[in-house]
Structure 1
Amino acid sequence: MDSFGSCLPFSTSAPHVAPTDDRGFPKLEEYPPGYPRFAALISAHDPFLVCRRFGQLRARLLLLKQDKLAMLETRLELIDRNESCPLFLGKSRCDRNADRIALLSEIERSLEDYDQFTGRAHKMLSYEIAHRRDVRSLQNWIDGTGCLAREETEFLLRRHELVTLAPAGDNAVVQLENWVEDRLIRFYRGFRGTRFQSLSDDANVYLYRSALVRRVSQTLLIIMVTTLLLMPVVICNIISALSLRIVVVMACTISYLLILSGLTKSRTTELILAGATYATVLIVFVSGTSGF
């Protein structure tokens, strides 16, 4: 069994939902079946607001708009080369070439359209990729309720171009909270009790407030960070050989960077800076305790 939105396999007859909090939504069953109920479900959990970015269609339109501007550019160059009055090219206020004036107006409109399109495309491509657990949760809910036409929900199968409109959160915290939520649902039956108020009367649909999940996740995160920072110090205190201490520093720095890059979306320069700072602190400790 898993929560709606988790990464573990689902039963097709038991979709589950796990929004971050209970914000006073009515029961899902109070909405008519179909899009009204599906929209209520999506609005209960921001990451469920997923949509296609239509990358191929955007690329196709971009190529067409780009080619149109290229042709207009070629036409303008041709008009300039065939200009019979050089004065028109050197003083735009005196330009009486109607073809050039009309063409420049068309170029301006096309450029404006091109700029708006590229700006919208850039904004769409900047959205976060939808998490697999959220997409799978929506698919399970649809399969379990059968209240939407299959052909109108096929967009969920195109996972490679699904994005979420929800603001990007702390990737490490989100992953940890998802893991904690999965474990609580699997091993702690009290987690499914009425004190975690559900927004659905369906026994297989769970919409929890995440206070417990958040507290457990924060505790685990603090323990993990403390362990990462202090474990090499403890090991180096036990080991007296300088060469072994250096090996410990190298191993711990590599482990630190691997975990950091896996849990967060850090840039290369940020990883280098974090690794350098971490290694420097450990080297200072080693040198201060061994005369290195």
Structure 2
Amino acid sequence: MEEPLPEEIQRQPWKYVGYRRYAEFISSDSDMLIFRRFGELNARVGLLLQDKCSLLEQKLIDLDKKNSRRDADPINNGTIRDDIEERETLLNEIAHHLDRYSKYTDAPVHLYSSLTVSVDKFLIQQSQLREYARAPSRDVKSLRTWHANHQNMAIDEEEHRYLEQHQDLIRLRSNNKTPVRNWIDNSLALRTLRIWKKQSRTIPKYEANNISYYSNTSIDAFASGTIIFIGAFLLITPIWILQAIEDLQIKLAVITTFVLVFLFVLSFAMASKPFEALGATAAYAAVLMVFIQVGL
């Protein structure tokens, strides 16, 4: 099959690039898998589901009160197996809406009769959806740059306008990177160093000058190595310093300094929770104090 010329691709990116290349691009790196959360729409649907179930709940309460009045017919309200038809029908409708919200009896709500989401499942899905981190600006900018490199015509303008909803964009990959790795990613100069560059990935010729891929494994290894080096430095250096000092107050000042530095590194250079950082710092301080006692 004859390949199109670069000039042809530039003139008609919607024909030669399109969704096939766009999908290939965003799936090439998990950081690029960015989609909308539709937070406001989901909230509206949640309110709809809640209100419908509230209406059915109130109907059940009114029916129970009606059948419990002194002037009501003697109805056994203590049975499910031999319940009255009206209440059994209402309970079945409630169960149906709680499980699969698809059948409605009120005319205004028929607009939503195609919904088949259970209330419980909906709430669980919303809870899980909220756990996804908001897409970083640098990744959204990368997607916008891809569109700009194709004159914003590879994908229909209306269909890639979702990238303008920055507050509503989420990244499917959870952000479990260390602060050191995030620091590298936030620096264009650091994250685009030649040493990280991948050579094995195939890139279309017409995009060779616009797209570069970098090895996450190499960057993660460098970040881990940096953390290990800092940790080793903070463990070994104070021991040698304390060994060379005789005055106890100066030793305590050295320990205090290194303990504070250690706490700072744990809190800001690593993904540590406050109590974890304090616990590790306490253990670190105990080791240094033991070294003082041994020296005495």
TM category (shorter chain) comes to: 0.7 to 0.9
Summarize deviations over 1:143-178 as a string: whole Å, max 9, x none: 222222333222223232322223554434632653
Name 1:37's counterpart in structure 2: 21
| SS at structure 2 position matched to 1:89 | coil
Tell me if the contact between 2:196 and 2:215 (Cα under 8 Å) persists in the aligned partners: no
Could you say which structure has the larger radius of gyration? Answer: 2
Unpaired runs of 5+ in structure 1? Answer: 1-28
Name 1:118's counterpart in structure 2: 123
Mapped partners of 2:292, 2:54: distance in 1: 63
Name 2:190's counterpart in structure 1: 183
- Number of equivalent positions: 257
Match of 1:199 among 178, 198, 203: 203
Summarize deviations over 1:74-94 as a string: whole Å, max 9, x none: 221111111035652212222
Aligned-pair identity (%) = 28
Name 1:104's counterpart in structure 2: 91
Mapped partners of 2:200, 2:188: distance in 1: 12
Report the Cα offset of residue 138 of structure 1: 1.2
Summarize deviations over 1:22-55 as a string: whole Å, max 9, x none: xxxxxxx9x9312111111111111111111111
Q: CA RMSD of the aligned region, Å?
A: 3.2
Name 2:42's counterpart in structure 1: 58
| SS at structure 2 position matched to 1:252 | helix
Report the Cα offset of residue 141 of structure 1: 1.5
Mapped partners of 1:251, 1:86: distance in 2: 82
Match of 2:214 among 198, 204, 208: 208
Mapped partners of 1:99, 1:53: distance in 2: 41
* Cα pair distance change 1:62/1:252, threshold 3 Å: farther
Mapped partners of 1:111, 1:250: distance in 2: 59
Between the two structures, name the one with larger relative contact order (CA 8 Å, sep ≥ 6).
1
1:79 equivalent in alignment to 2:84: no
Mapped partners of 1:94, 1:114: distance in 2: 28
* Cα pair distance change 1:281/1:191, threshold 3 Å: closer
Name 2:173's counterpart in structure 1: 166
State the AA in 2 paired with 1:105. Answer: N
* Cα pair distance change 1:249/1:109, threshold 3 Å: farther
State the AA in 2 paired with 1:79. Answer: L
| SS at structure 2 position matched to 1:148 | coil
* Cα pair distance change 1:32/1:249, threshold 3 Å: farther
Length-normalised TM-score, structure 1: 0.73
Length-normalised TM-score, structure 2: 0.72
| More deviation, 207-216/274-283 | 207-216
